[in-house]
Amino acid sequence: MTIYLDIVFVENIIMNYIILFSTGLICKEKIKQMRLVISSIIGSIYSVAYYITEITLYATIIAKIFLSIAMIYIAFGSKNLKNVFKSLMVFYLTSFAFGGCAFAILYYIKPRNILYQNGNLIGTYPIKIAILGRYIRFFNN
């Protein structure tokens, strides 16, 4: 199977932006679009690096936590450790909620060509489903 890194990169930017924007709304943080875009790009670079390198450091939970903290700090620039931790927890919960909604939609429409490789979903997973899952979860509050 062929993985197009440009598509992975762009889809991750979009989804990271949506999750960060939602986190900012929920936490009532000051949202600056450029900071969200930069943070989304950093998260997307990580996801592409995960595919192109053989370094297992990228797959560790510690690396993912540090990346999440960096993304939250870049996106919202909190000076208070308590706000960073609060935003981090909301970021994770929002990510899980959007992902859960997207998988539920995927389960019900059952598209073809779905593959799992090393615990990652590879194959036909349209960005439309992920965005639809985001809207269902966000407007269901």
pLDDT in tens, the chain (141 residues): 566 777 888 888 998 999 999 999 998 888 899 999 999 999 999 888 877 877 777 678 888 889 999 999 999 987 788 889 999 999 999 999 888 877 777 667 665 555 555 555 555 555 665 666 655 555 544
Q: Name the residue range of residue 41's domain.
A: 5-138
End-to-end CA distance of the chain: 38
So what's the pLDDT on residue 20?
Answer: 93
Give how many domains the chain has, as a whole number.
1
So what's the pLDDT on residue 56?
Answer: 73
Amino acid identity of 104?
A
Cα 87 from Cα 72, distance rounded (Å): 7
Cα 38 from Cα 74, distance rounded (Å): 8
In terms of phi and psi (left: phi > 0; alpha: psi -120 to 50; beta: otherwise), the region of 125 is beta
Give 13-56 as a DSSP string.
Answer: HHHHHHHHHHHHHHHTPPP-HHHHHHHHHHHHHHHHHHHH---G
- Please tell me whether residue 88 adopts helix, strand or coil conformation: helix
So what's the pLDDT on residue 115?
Answer: 52
- Of the candidates 46, 39, 57, 59, the one whose C-alpha atom is nearest the C-alpha of residue 8 is 46
Whether pTM > 0.85 for this model: the answer is no
